[in-house]
Amino acid sequence: MYEQIYDKLREEIRSGHYRIGDRVPSEKELADAYGVSRITSKKALELLAEGGLIVRRPGRGSFVADPAALAAAAAPSQGRGAARGGGSGGRPMIGLVMTDFSDSYGTGLVYGMEEASRKHEAFLVLRRSFGIPSYEEEAIKSMLEQGVDGLIIFPAQGEYFNAEILKLVIDKFPFVLVDRHLKGISAGSISTDNAAGAKRGTEYLFELGHKHVAILTPPPTDTTAVEDRIEGYVEAHAEKGIVVDRELWLSVTSTLPTAYTEENKAKDIEKIKQHLREHPQISAFFAMEYNIALLAREAARQIGLEVPGDLSIVCFDCPDNGSGFSFTHLRQNQEEMGRVAFENVLQLREGKTVPNKIALEAELILGDSTAVVSPTRIAQP
């Protein structure tokens, strides 16, 4: 509905139905006309304002903008990626906007994209958002101004997508999402089959005899990846006939890009320690991320529990850093994900159709953090 209202008003402005200085329908008028909420109609007007088509005046309404703004809006391909024919000696230039990357996750994605860019004689331009939506919006705008031919976006964590991504959809600009998909957005995405991966990891803990598997997760509403992993965890319980005990779930926040500080990590370690004390029956953790697994291992150490003797831990991703300890983990095929993302953007740039959603299998890698449940843990109430 954002797209329908936006497209309709944009066409009416460009065709002269609404002339410069004319008032366009209000949020309420649009909501009534299209049978939508005022939140929806407000968003459509905000997008028109951000695109330079209208000017919003509090208390008065929204009015068609001046001729210069209209001229820019009449040729969106010029303002939003002028170099689609290749701005660097005829070679495509693809922008990558991602939260951040580390040894545990993200570096492999960049490797895969860089290799694909080399293979196709293209260029990859990187900008990090650090998980801050306003940084993400600015990065997208900057890359479009520089004339990138396509975009790969690793969205900032959050329940809602930013307006710049919606504009890309409306303008049919070639871009794909990696790691997650955004609800309500018709855009190609390449990610891991997170539900299947989480299900396999939880099943493995069941195979070792663990019946009380606690889940450690960032706020589950933040990303579809987290939601999918929770779904896999729940499915594994259902197929095994084990009741899901939500009292064993614990949410931590220190691994979010905007909260990754030593102080916050210390607070989360204390939360996990308290959780283990309050639920002594817990014999295993399923951690959504590697950094959360590190918190769980440290919490266990501080209260005298050994990993894996007293507590098993499974997580997603684990760097091969030569530390001598590796977690049993679900390894995502990051390089393939990056390669497919880059090549799909190139195909979209050529007007070809690509799958709307691609999910790659995660491989279970056995490490040092899991063992058969100990008799003392089985005896816990």
Domain total of the chain: 3
Question: What pLDDT is stored for residue 179 in this prediction?
Answer: 84
351 occurs within a structural domain: yes
The reply to whether 374 and 267 lie within a common domain is yes
Question: What pLDDT is stored for residue 88 in this prediction?
Answer: 45
43 occurs within a structural domain: yes
289 occurs within a structural domain: yes
The reply to whether 350 and 369 lie within a common domain is no
Q: Is the pLDDT of residue 344 over 90?
A: yes
Q: What is the CATH number of the domain that holds 181?
A: 3.40.50.2300
Domain end call among 18, 39, 70: 70
SS3 of 126, please?
strand
The reply to whether 240 and 311 lie within a common domain is yes
Q: Using 50, 70 and 90 to split pLDDT, how confident is the model at 81?
A: very low
Domain end call among 42, 70, 98: 70
Q: Is the pLDDT of residue 76 over 70?
A: no
269 occurs within a structural domain: yes
The reply to whether 346 and 199 lie within a common domain is no
Question: What pLDDT is stored for residue 266 in this prediction?
Answer: 94
The reply to whether 101 and 248 lie within a common domain is no
113 occurs within a structural domain: yes
Q: Is the pLDDT of residue 110 over 50?
A: yes
DSSP code of residue 155: P
Residue 220 CB contacts under 8 Å (≥ 6 apart), including other chains = 226, 227, 230, 251
Residue 172 CB contacts under 8 Å (≥ 6 apart), including other chains = none
**Do residues 104 and 320 touch, judged by C-beta distance below 8 A?**
no
275: its two tokens: 């959780």
Question: What pLDDT is stored for residue 69 in this prediction?
Answer: 44
Question: What pLDDT is stored for residue 41 in this prediction?
Answer: 84
| Segment 242-276, tens digit of pLDDT | 999 999 999 998 887 677 788 999 999 999 999 99
Q: What is the CATH number of the domain that holds 65?
A: 1.10.10.10
The reply to whether 340 and 374 lie within a common domain is no
80 occurs within a structural domain: no
The reply to whether 234 and 374 lie within a common domain is yes
71: its two tokens: 């001229």
Residues of the domain holding 368: 194-332+364-378
The reply to whether 230 and 373 lie within a common domain is yes
Q: Is the pLDDT of residue 353 over 70?
A: yes
Q: Which residue has the higher pLDDT, 71 or 24?
A: 24
The reply to whether 30 and 131 lie within a common domain is no
Domain end call among 19, 37, 70: 70
Question: What pLDDT is stored for residue 78 in this prediction?
Answer: 40
254 occurs within a structural domain: yes
83 occurs within a structural domain: no
| Residue 286, CA distances (Å) to 47, 98, 167, 189 in order | 41, 26, 37, 25
Q: Is the pLDDT of residue 378 over 70?
A: no
Question: What pLDDT is stored for residue 316 in this prediction?
Answer: 95
The reply to whether 60 and 176 lie within a common domain is no
The top-scoring range by mean pLDDT among 101-110, 203-212, 350-359 is: 203-212
The reply to whether 276 and 216 lie within a common domain is yes
| Segment 296-339, tens digit of pLDDT | 999 999 999 999 999 999 999 998 765 678 999 999 999 999 99
The reply to whether 317 and 225 lie within a common domain is yes
Is the peptide bond between 375 and the residue preceding it cis, with omega within 30 degrees of 0? no
Q: Using 50, 70 and 90 to split pLDDT, how confident is the model at 221?
A: low
Q: Is the pLDDT of residue 188 over 80?
A: yes
